[in-house]
Amino acid sequence: MDAQDQNWDDYRLFLAVAQAGSLSGAARLLGVTHSTVFRRLAAFEDRLGVRLFERLPSGYVLTAAGEAMEVATTRIDDEISGIRRQIVGQDHRLSGQIRITTTDMLAIGLLPPYLVAFRREWPGIGVELLVSDMRLDLMRREADIALRLGNPLQETLVGRRVGRLAFAVYAARGVQVGEDLIAQDWIGFGSAHAPLRQALKDWLPDLRPQFRTNSISAAVAAARAGIGLAALPCAIADPDPQLVRIAPFPDNFGLDLWLLTHEDLRHTARIRAFVDFMTEVLAAKADLLEGR
């Protein structure tokens, strides 16, 4: 069968495997099962009559044929994504669906009440929340809007700084905490939270956490359970009746909150409505976000 007769979804699946380097990673990107990716990739290679990947213990590696296909397919996918963005960007309706991506910390600890308020304000706009520590590609419309920490601006994206998230040290209410913070049990973080890890290291260089997690939400739960002290966002920990603030960070450590979208979508009515709404409500909560 000629390649032009293939379903474009097969090429997108191929790109997902090439990007992730594994079937499980591609499955997460596409929102399907591992077995679905395995079956469809095998059938795709059979129809093309060429092997696109070498199956190695370390993962799926492109063959020479696969590398050539990746270059061509990526170019076409970028063009298709650009056309879609331009079409959506002409949409002036205050209705339809928007896809928002953010981390579990913000999705669980910060956003829910504001999403409820947004839905009351704009009942015609549906919201899909994609929770991932992986940065979904706004250029390919894996999401329409991203709420991210730090300063993540990049070419072709436009954004607004909508607040600053302050951090402090917290413990479970009722736990006795001595003056020597180093002597306490601590909850540490993985590489996904590099700025926070570095701030802790600069402040307490001899700190050796007894428990680690790659999730702020998991750290909140662990701190509630009394596993140890944790550096947590004030906006999430201060309202929690099971937690008490133990100490501030030196130098008022915090991370900026950014709302991002692709420049082609900035004038889409439903996306602009969400960005404007979130900018306003988060500005009104500046004291909470900044730990005051």
Which of 89, 105, 136 is where one domain is finished? Answer: 89
Quickly state the pLDDT bin for 257 (edges 50, 70, 90): confident
Cα 151 to Cα 280: distance, rounded to the nearest angstrom: 20
Quickly state the pLDDT bin for 243 (edges 50, 70, 90): very high
Q: What is the DSSP letter of 125?
A: E
CA atoms within 13 A on the CB side of 35: 0
- Answer yes or no: is pLDDT of 245 > 90: yes
pLDDT in tens, 106-139: 888 888 999 999 898 888 888 888 887 655 454 4
- Answer yes or no: is pLDDT of 181 > 70: yes
Write down the pLDDT at residue 84. 63
Cα 55 to Cα 21: distance, rounded to the nearest angstrom: 10
Structural domain that includes position 233: 92-292
pLDDT in tens, 57-70: 888 998 888 888 88
Write down the pLDDT at residue 255. 86
- Answer yes or no: is pLDDT of 176 > 70: yes
Which of 36, 56, 89 is where one domain is finished? Answer: 89
Can you spell out the DSSP letters for 128-170? EEEE-SS---TTTTS-SEEEEES----TTEEEEEEEEEEEEEE
Domain total in the chain? 2
Check whether residue 286 and residue 158 sit in a common domain. yes
Check whether residue 97 and residue 183 sit in a common domain. yes
Check whether residue 53 and residue 170 sit in a common domain. no
Check whether residue 114 and residue 230 sit in a common domain. yes
Check whether residue 200 and residue 96 sit in a common domain. yes
Check whether residue 32 and residue 158 sit in a common domain. no
Looking up residue 198, the CATH number of its domain turns out to be 3.40.190.290
Predicted TM-score (pTM) of the model is 0.61
Check whether residue 17 and residue 120 sit in a common domain. no
Check whether residue 97 and residue 60 sit in a common domain. no
Check whether residue 54 and residue 149 sit in a common domain. no
Which of 46, 70, 89 is where one domain is finished? Answer: 89
Looking up residue 8, the CATH number of its domain turns out to be 1.10.10.10
Check whether residue 38 and residue 126 sit in a common domain. no
Check whether residue 184 and residue 170 sit in a common domain. yes
Quickly state the pLDDT bin for 19 (edges 50, 70, 90): confident
Cα 180 to Cα 4: distance, rounded to the nearest angstrom: 68
Check whether residue 110 and residue 79 sit in a common domain. no
Q: What is the DSSP letter of 266?
A: T
What does R_g of the chain's alpha carbons equal in angstroms?
Answer: 22
